[in-house]
Chain A
Amino acid sequence: MERRRITLREILCAAALLAVAIGLYLWSFARPAGGTVVIEQDGKTVYRIDFTTLSEPETLEVNGTVIEIGPNGAWFVSSPCPDQICVKAGLCSRAGESAVCLPQRVSLRITGEGGVDAITG
């Protein structure tokens, strides 16, 4: 029996399959690890927002603090507390990053895998 030859169509099909696979592979890597910000007040979750899909920044007020959430992450804009540690913490964008306002008992934290699990210091 004569051996059949591989046709152009088959090569194209295989190439397309390979392209899709590589594309999927890269997409699953490039997907941002930290995409959700969890805002808590005194141990209770008050907001859980996926910020990667936000088209424009959102401003929230939680127990006197003002938190802004943009497509890159979340941060404390202002707080009535005396030390302003929460405001100085700045933008939290990677998974595991967090800012806490101790006097107001408000915290924001980026969740998801791929980042850090905790912070020391």
Chain B
Amino acid sequence: MKARPVKTTLRNLPEPKAKKLALLLGAVLLVLVILIALFPLLDRTEEPYTVTTYAMGSYVQQSVYGKNSETAAVTAADAVQALENKISWRVSGSDIQKLNSAAGKDWTELSADTMEILEIAQDVAEKSGGAFDVTIAPISRLWDFDSERNTVPDSDQIASFLPYVGYEFLRLDTETGAASLKNLNNAVDLGAIGKGAACDVAVEAYAETGADAAIVSVGGSVGVYGRKESGADWNIAVRDPNTDGTLGTLTIVSGFVSTSGSYEKSFTLDGTLYHHLLDPATGYPADSGLISVTVLSDSGARSDALATACFVLGLDEGQALLETYGAEGIFIDETGVITITDGLQDRFTLTASGYTLAAQA
């Protein structure tokens, strides 16, 4: 028989070697334990570049991730400012100012950005039966909520301007990229769609500049781009319409979120709340039983327009409208009942008290 060489095993390891091995294993174990213990911190390593600028009569708040974050944020802020210069009726030389001053006279050539927004606006106007209408300008100028004069216009004045509100007066020629308004008294105000559209151009800027991920909020309309390095979804706080706190958190992977609430630009006179969400049918603040609507869709402009349309239409018709677009929404009525569409059931967490969730349809 051949003598087999004695194999070194853990059992017959010489004492000094065993001590060394034990020490080594102990050290490895220690390092492992510390790394695992510090694991929750890894989650927070990636800090975005954040900046708040001002445009579209509101704030533009950005958090941008990645190497080019600062360049991307500056580019996006510039893009929002450039958009304002095209679509604000207050900016002299803007597309909308030209369109309004040519009302009843001639066609106006528009930039591609403005044309695209007007197309989305007219589409939502048609599908909502005019609940959303950018030709509201003659009436919205009477109320002029931005001035904070806080007065109710004369009812005769509203009655005399109301016939000039109607989306059918705005005609678009997509072939030539031009638009016209039928009557001298017609005018366009993109206030109810502009902030959402600003999120669209910001997100385009992130894609062009090669940001890794970003989130932008323009006066409460939110757009997200890409995914955070941690892989976590985007958490968006929905404002509590009755306080200035948070109603709950909406978790999204992509898309654009807009909210229309009666608490935003408003004033109370003789016990009546007058808010900026005007019903194009009456010329007065919409009274549909809702106090806030939040909409999620794949376009910022569309989300913004749909939020206003849903607020004016009310819960049932608003839900039906969202369905035609495959959009999702959160409706809050004046009694504090929250209705959430199917697609957001698992994505919204209510944190505020004083509200009840409607039973799932």
Interface residues of A (CB under 8 A from B): 1, 17-18, 20-25, 28-29, 31, 33, 38, 40, 42-43, 45, 82-83, 88-90, 96-98, 100, 102, 105, 107, 109, 111-121
The residue on A at minimum CB distance from B260 is: A121
Please name all residues of chain B whose beta carbon is closer than 8 Å to the beta carbon of A29 when the two chains form the complex. Answer: 40
Q: List 5 A-B contacts (CB under 8 A).
A: A28-B37, A113-B47, A119-B236, A120-B220, A121-B264
**Contact across chains for B54 and A119 when beta carbons are under 8 A apart:** no
Q: Which residues of B contact A (CB under 8 A)?
A: 11-12, 29-30, 33-34, 36-41, 43-44, 46-47, 50-54, 58-59, 61, 63, 77, 148, 215-217, 220-222, 224, 230, 234-239, 241, 244-247, 249-250, 257-259, 261, 264, 292, 294
Secondary structure at chain B's binding surface: helix, strand, loop or mixed?
strand
Min C-beta distance of A113 to chain B, whole Å: 4
| Alpha-carbon separation in the docked complex, A53 to B294 (Å) | 37
Closest to B45 in A: A113
A43 and B51 within 8 A (CB):
yes
Q: Which of B34, B46, B59 contacts A21 (CB 8 A)?
A: B34
User: How many Å lie between the Cα of A109 and that of B60 in the bound state?
Assistant: 13
Known: A1-B11, A89-B244, A115-B235. A43 touches B54 (CB 8 A): yes
Check A118 against B50 for contact (C-beta < 8 Å): no
Select which of B30, B38, B148, B220 is within 8 A of A28 by beta carbon.
B38
Central interface residue in B30, B46, B217, B224, by most chain A CB within 10 Å: B217
A22 to B46, CA, bound (A): 24
Q: In the complex the two chains form, is B54's CB within 8 Å of A105's CB? A: yes
Contact indicator A107/B237 (Cβ below 8 Å): no
List the A residue with the shortest CB-CB distance to B46. A113
Q: Assess whether A117 is in contact with B235, with CB atoms less than 8 Å apart.
A: yes
Which has the most chain A C-beta neighbours within 10 Å: B29, B37, B221, B244? B37
Given contacts A116-B236, A119-B217, list 10 more A-B pairs with CB under 8 A.
A28-B38, A90-B245, A96-B235, A102-B58, A109-B61, A113-B44, A117-B224, A118-B216, A120-B238, A121-B238
